[in-house]
Amino acid sequence: MDFVVWSCKSMHVFGIVVLLGGILFQSAISQPVARVENAEKLQWSLHLERRFVSFIWMALWSVGLSGVILQLLHPDFLWFDISTRWQLLLLLKQLTFILLIFFSYGYVRMFRLLEIEIAHSERSEDAVEIMLYKKNNFRKISVYLSITAILLAAGM
């Protein structure tokens, strides 16, 4: 049983590192460079981001699955009981994770729409700019939610 808990904790931490590290790489390095080079709409930039999307889902699945196993194996876990600080922080962390999934889905959906719009020969530059703006907002919110989840986990 100790090995299962240890391996789930390792996968949980690794998933968060991959997720937050990837999102921070996109926000702090890849997108600003593409914006300065005026390459946000070029194929190599879209290809890089398309490859990144699979890492988002891989990290979310590993964090979610390992988190469910960890909560079920924890001795303080009781269904629908939030009488202790640990249980309250667990509930807040679960809500944060659900929001993170929601905003990650929004990010991916906006990226797919942007990719389709850029592929059209008669594309609307205003629509492309709005999609880029929304996609960047989804990414920023995902960064804040990931940091919030880490802080909640540290408080547990």
- Report how far residue 122's alpha carbon sits from residue 24's, in angstroms, rounded to the nearest whole number: 33
Neighbour tally for 6: CB within 10 Å: 10
Q: What does the chain come to in residues?
A: 156
pTM for this structure? Answer: 0.77
**d(Cα 140, Cα 124) in Å, to the nearest integer?**
25
**Which token pair is 144?**
């804040």
- 3: which 2 tokens? 């090995």
Q: How many CB atoms lie within 10 A of CB 113?
A: 15
3-state secondary structure of 63: helix
User: pLDDT (tens digit, 9 = 90+) per residue, 54-110?
Assistant: 888 888 888 888 888 888 887 777 787 777 877 888 888 889 889 988 888 888 888
Residues 156 and 151: their CA atoms lie apart, in Å, by: 9
Which pLDDT tens digit goes with each residue over 47-64? 777 778 788 888 888 888
